[in-house]
Copies of this chain bind each other. A is one copy, B any other.
Amino acid sequence: MTIEAAMDISSRIETALDLAVSHAESPHGPPLLTEAIRYAVFPGGHRIRPRLSLAVAIACGDRHPEAADAAATAIELLHCASLVHDDLPCFDNASLRRGRPSVHAAFGAPLAVLAGDALIVLAFETLARGTMTCAHVLPILMTTIGRSVGSPHGIVAGQAWECEKTVALTEYQRAKTGALFIAATAAGAAASGQDPDPWRHLGERLGLAYQVADDLRDVLCDEAELGKPIGQDAALHRPNAAAQLGIVGAKRHLEDLVQSAVSSIPDCPGAPALRDLIKAQTKLFFPKQLALVAA
């Protein structure tokens, strides 16, 4: 995958997100809500999930570009919704996100609850809008993405495990982080008219890799670099791979997961380019401090 192609992916995602968010805006709507919704989505983080989804759709031939954009957008909107709700005072009470006040810190908890709700609704509306010329892919996109977000196995369920006295650790991590990565690869394939199932393994491995990288960042980075509070896992008694395996062990685990992900890419016209892209992308979420750690 060339730099130009990667830039094209970024540009498609930002354009599609902007269009989707504009549908939630109106001069007659409540101004603070619409401001909070846009604030929750822009400027974004690395957009890892939608980039992954769109990259898979392109590797599969990009047969329905609007559906692929809609799937990527829906996944990012749902990710943003989960961040807004997870940051609420009744959960992590995080006042910082992406280097600036979190939505509830900037707008108050009521508007943060509502902005998250509106983003969930907008995600599904976006799928309907993006499949007007290829309605046959709408059901599979909805069920694939819906399953990754809702109860019993999606990100909402993942967050809910934090409210249980006994946590099923594998189920927790799969739901909280893995599910949306699996949806990203599966929905990308489905948006191009391909069977999504062979693509789940790629998403699952990358989700696990991302979780390990996130655990390492929580331990290795400083707050300014991370754009959110550090040491949260220890403070909130959450499991952390770096704490369990040590930093060297966690780094090795992360490399193995990326290798397994890349090897799992199904045969398709864009497989070689997708492999290159994923290698380049995953480097981005390795904390730079890891370069100093002996393998």
A residues with CB within 8 A of B:
24-26, 28-34, 37, 81, 85, 88, 90-91, 108-111, 113-114, 116-118, 120-122, 124-125, 127-129, 131-132, 135-136, 138-139, 142-143, 146-147, 149-154, 156-157, 159-164, 168, 171
CB–CB A153/B108 < 8 A: no
A26–B152 contact, CB under 8 A? yes
Enumerate 9 A-B pairs (CB-CB under 8 Å) in ascending A order. Answer: A29-B151, A29-B153, A30-B164, A31-B164, A32-B164, A34-B152, A88-B113, A110-B160, A114-B163
Contact A160 B125 (CB under 8 A): no
Query: What is the CB-to-nearest-CB distance from A198 to chain B, in angstroms, rounded to a whole number?
Result: 22
With A24-B152, A160-B32, A164-B32 known as contacts, the answer to whether A116 contacts B118 (CB < 8 A) is: no
Q: Which residues of B contact A132 (CB under 8 A)?
A: 139
- Assess whether A110 is in contact with B136, with CB atoms less than 8 Å apart: no
Interface centre among A24, A91, A135, A171 (most CB of B within 10 A): A24
B113 x A113 contact (CB < 8 A):
yes
A33 to B147, CA, bound (A): 15
| Of A85, A129, A151, A152, most B-chain CB atoms within 10 Å | A151
Return A195 CB to nearest CB of chain B, in Å: 17
Residue ID in chain B nearest A170 by CB atoms: B28
Instruction: Point out the residues of chain B lying under 8 angstroms from A120, CB to CB.
Output: 117, 120-121
Known A30-B152, A113-B113, A135-B136; 15 more pairs at CB < 8 Å: A25-B151, A29-B153, A30-B157, A30-B161, A30-B163, A31-B164, A33-B163, A85-B117, A90-B110, A110-B159, A118-B150, A120-B121, A122-B150, A125-B142, A135-B138
Report the Cα distance A125→B143, complex, angstroms. Answer: 6
A192→B126 CA distance, assembly (Å): 24
Give A25 to B139 CA distance when docked, in angstroms: 21
Known: A24-B152, A125-B143, A163-B111. A157 touches B31 (CB 8 A): no
CB contact between A150 and one of B85, B125, B136, B147 (< 8 Å): that residue: B125
Q: Contact at B160–A146, with CB atoms within 8 Å? A: no
Interchain CB contact under 8 A, A154 and B121: yes
A136 to B139, CA, bound (A): 10
Task: With CB as the reference atom, state the residue of chain B lying closest to A131.
Answer: B139
| Given A24-B151, A28-B171, A114-B159: A121 in contact with B146 (beta carbons within 8 A) | yes
A28, chain B: closest CB distance, angstroms: 6
Q: Cβ of A117 and Cβ of B116 under 8 Å apart?
A: yes
Q: When the two chains form their complex, are residues B90 and A156 in contact, meaning their CB atoms are under 8 A apart?
A: no
